[in-house]
Amino acid sequence: MQKGQIAIEFILIIVIMLIFLQTIIQPTLTSSITTVKDVSSLAQAKIAAEKIVNAIDFVALNASDSKIEVGIFLPVNTTLKCDPAAKKIYFSSVVSMPHESCEADEDNNASVCTKSISTISTITLNCNAFGINHTLNPTKNSFYKISVKKLGGIVYVETK
């Protein structure tokens, strides 16, 4: 009788622990993994935008015509946009869970984090060959080769 009672109590403790793991820890872990993926995508989009802006600024500051090619990686659900009028490169990433900090950014959408990086304000920027409608929006994780060249005082940003 005593051994049977101990076995039943042990099984009951195991069941309670499994229920605890299922209801408390797994949802928290899933949420954490999703958040880490969102932050990673946004960071990769930011790095890509910074590489392009740095190349634009470097080429623009050269006295003569010059060219730089940079490689960038964009994960799915991220976007890069070149705005020649504002002289900015915008980057955005769709997040899995809406967040207040994304709602307070440049597009006021809690599900999409959008930021911009300004280039040198005195340049003339041409983004006509940068993606479709000045935008890169990959449907899968993608590498791009970006060419930034200065010809006759105009800085051209192109995808290769």
Q: pLDDT for 3-42, tens place per residue? A: 778 888 889 999 988 888 788 877 777 788 888 888 888 8
User: Could you give phi then psi for residue 90, rounded to 5 degrees?
Assistant: -100, 145
Q: Is 159 helix (H, G, I), strand (E, B) or coil?
A: strand
**Separation CA 108–CA 9 (nearest Å):** 54
Query: Which residues span the domain enclosing 76?
Result: 32-159
How large is the average pLDDT for residues 93-120?
83
Has residue 22 been placed in a domain?
no
Nearest to 95 by CA among 56, 144, 134, 42: 42
Q: How far is CA 157 from CA 76, 79, 131, 136, in A?
A: 22, 16, 10, 12
Q: pLDDT at residue 1 above 60?
A: no
For the full predicted model, state whether its pTM sits above 0.85: no
Has residue 106 been placed in a domain?
yes
Has residue 1 been placed in a domain?
no
The structural domain count of the chain equals: 1
Amino acid at 43: A
pLDDT of residue 90: 94
> Around Cβ 84, how many Cβ atoms within 10 Å?
19
Mean pLDDT for the chain?
88
**Separation CA 61–CA 33 (nearest Å):** 42
**Separation CA 42–CA 47 (nearest Å):** 9
pLDDT of residue 56: 95
Has residue 24 been placed in a domain?
no
- With a CB cutoff of 8 Å and minimum separation 6, the contacts of 139 are 76
**Separation CA 115–CA 45 (nearest Å):** 10
Contact 81, 135 (CB under 8 A): yes
Has residue 131 been placed in a domain?
yes
